[in-house]
Amino acid sequence: MKRKRIFVEIMAVLLMAQLGVMLFYGNKKAGFHEDEFYTYYSTNKTAGLFVNDRQWLTREDVRNDFVVLHGERFRYDVVKQMQSWDVHPPFYYYIFHTVCSLFPGVFSKWLGIGANLIAFVISYILLAWGACMAAAREQSDCIEEKEKGEQKGRIMSFLTCLAWGFSGAVISGVMFIRMYQWLTLFLLLCLDLHLYAVKKEDFRIRSFFLPLAVTVFLGFLTQYYYIIFHFFLGAGFCIWLIKNRKCRELAGYVISCGAGFAGAVLYYPASLSHIFRGYRGTEAVSEFSNVSNTWERLKFFYGLFDDFVMNGTLSWWLLAICLLALWSGYVRRKKGNKRIFWDASTGLMTLTCGGYFFIVSKTALLLGETSNRYQLPVYGMILFLLLYALWELLGQAAQTLKKTPDKRIMLGGFVLVILLTAGLGMKDGRVFFLYEEEREQMAFVQSHSDEPVVVFYNDSSPDNIWRLSDELMVFEKVYLASQGNRELIADKTIAECGRMLVYVADYEDKERCLEGILQVNEKLDTYKAVADKEMWTLYELYSRGQ
């Protein structure tokens, strides 16, 4: 009991340290990804944003569609309808809308980060529990053997959470105001329910079948990638049930999963069109059926995990595991020892992570470092498998040398390597979705918030205006103008101001737009670019005499 209490205290301290790191990086976050703007907009929409040529747009016009107004709190029906028009299920947006409803009128990165931190804490607990169950494989009536298994489970739980929570990819996932941290939560919950059933052979309705059905329902309604994960986990679990001749349990399992999926589809019928007819669904099918891109896509996602979780050391880990496995296998065959350290729990995790990684690698969007989001939910499980394999093989290697492995030295070595890897990763900028380069631009915008602003948008992509949403909220009003409209702007405010800011979409006639402003305003005679922001360039127009 004392050891368990100490373990819980250590895990709590580790969690607090990781939350401190999350808050540190949250404070550094200075801008938003376009999908993050969509999270706010599609969750809290009031009137809808429309781009009209030669028209002023007020601060309230922009801001009111990114915040929850006092009379529009907890409008879950609107949230559901908005997502049905896009390609996502609604549950994450319910959560985010709830958080925003508790702080009406507030637009802040901390609302999104806060929602993700809740999911991070729960995911941390679930990952710790799952790693502990999977590693403590010994099933023995012997108290000493049972304690050894529990000790190994606690060690692997600590090491896995240590490596997971301090990795650049996971920190970035918390910074990214989307549904992927909550998808991580439901994948880990689903895994833990299966591991618990395997370890305890507990198939009661209240302890397994009912929680499983609820998890399936909520996981499906959080992100459709849940289906991929559950398919491989469920396939492996069914094989285990058949192998152990648990026919009644198999029937209950199929019914529970079927009820969860059926309930989700009945609640959200738009999911079927999203998966089978939506643009993301058809893109995914097209990429999956293309055999020629398989190696390049696997290499791409392997590289993301290597760079942003292992900081370029994954090849060394895999090499060490392979060499130790060969040595261990040779010694075991020589001595006639057939004992292996992989069991049903670790086998389930391996099958599920392998299947999920392959399918997602084949179907996900290739968006550079930000594509980490798609594999993020299984990073903790992959880390466990790597750590567990290396730990077990090192222990077996020591035994072949007729030495008892010193677990304290091994633990210290693993902790040192993990902290060094994580520390170097943070130092090398492995945390993204921060957009720190926009801090200076936002400071400039705020210092010129009382000046007139013109936004020249590209007719073929007017929606790109909303990439500027956080900056447009700073100004009392902005003037929208189409780049395709070659008529000079006839607006008194623009024609008579002594200084102004102009956003121009990165298109071939940027200079023509700026020269047009100079033609209608005799007080202005020059301009300079002051900032670039994702398809936009910000210019300051002024007089040389100022």
Q: Can you give the residue ranges of every domain in the chain?
A: 2-30+108-427, 438-542
Average confidence (pLDDT) over 423-428: 88
Average confidence (pLDDT) over 413-427: 92
Helix (H, G, I), strand (E, B) or coil at 540: strand
**Does residue 334 surpass a pLDDT of 80?**
no
According to the 3-state scheme, what is the secondary structure of 15-63? HHHHHHHHHHHHHHCCCCCHHHHHHHHHHHCCCCCCCCCCEEEEHHHHH
Task: Report residue 436: phi and psi, to 5°.
Answer: -65, -25
**What percent of the chain is helix, strand and coil (3-state, nearest 5)?**
70, 5, 25
Give the dihedral sign, CA 165/166/167/171. positive
Average confidence (pLDDT) over 268-276: 93
Average confidence (pLDDT) over 350-356: 97
Average confidence (pLDDT) over 110-114: 98
Contact criterion met (CB below 8 Å) for 537 and 509: no
- Band of residue 327 on the pLDDT scale cut at 50, 70, 90: confident
Q: What spatial distance separates the first Cα and last Cα of the chain, rounded to whole Å?
A: 76
Angle at the Cα of 522 from the Cα atoms of 520 and 527, rounded to 5 degrees: 85
- Band of residue 64 on the pLDDT scale cut at 50, 70, 90: very high
Helix (H, G, I), strand (E, B) or coil at 348: helix
Question: Among 122, 230, 268, 94, which Cα is nearest to 181's?
Answer: 122
The whole-number pLDDT of residue 47 equals 76
**Does residue 399 surpass a pLDDT of 80?**
no
According to the 3-state scheme, what is the secondary structure of 168-227? HHHHHHHHCCCCHHHHHHHHHHHHHHHHHHHHHCCCCHHHHHHHHHHHHHHHHCCCCHHH
Average confidence (pLDDT) over 142-151: 70
**Does residue 504 surpass a pLDDT of 80?**
yes
Structure tokens at 34: 């376009």
**Does residue 117 surpass a pLDDT of 80?**
yes
Which residues, at least 6 apart from 334, have a Cβ–Cβ distance to it below 8 Å?
Answer: none
Contact criterion met (CB below 8 Å) for 469 and 37: yes
Instruction: Give the chain's count of helices (H) and strands (E).
Output: 23, 6
- Band of residue 341 on the pLDDT scale cut at 50, 70, 90: low
Average confidence (pLDDT) over 270-289: 82
**Does residue 425 surpass a pLDDT of 70?**
yes
Angle between helices 180-200 and 344-363 (to 10 degrees): 150
The whole-number pLDDT of residue 545 equals 67
The whole-number pLDDT of residue 309 equals 96
- Band of residue 339 on the pLDDT scale cut at 50, 70, 90: low
> How far is it, in rounded angstroms, from Cα 139 to Cα 133?
11
Average confidence (pLDDT) over 181-210: 95
> How far is it, in rounded angstroms, from Cα 108 to Cα 111?
6
Helix (H, G, I), strand (E, B) or coil at 474: coil
| Neighbour order of strands in the sheet with 453-457 | 55-58, 477-482, 453-457, 500-505, 536-542, 526-533
Average confidence (pLDDT) over 12-21: 98
- Band of residue 46 on the pLDDT scale cut at 50, 70, 90: confident
Structure tokens at 305: 């995990």
- Band of residue 404 on the pLDDT scale cut at 50, 70, 90: low
Question: Among 31, 32, 34, which Cα is nearest to 466's?
Answer: 34
Average confidence (pLDDT) over 238-242: 96
Structure tokens at 546: 């100022």
Question: Among 247, 215, 225, 236, which Cα is nearest to 88's?
Answer: 225
**Does residue 138 surpass a pLDDT of 60?**
no
- DSSP-assigned letter for residue 489: P
The whole-number pLDDT of residue 142 equals 57
Q: What is the residue-averaged pLDDT of the chain?
A: 91
Instruction: Say which amino acid occupies 161.
Output: C
- Band of residue 220 on the pLDDT scale cut at 50, 70, 90: very high
Number of C-beta neighbours around residue 99 at 10 A: 17
β-pair partners for 479: 56, 454
Average confidence (pLDDT) over 342-371: 94
The whole-number pLDDT of residue 194 equals 97
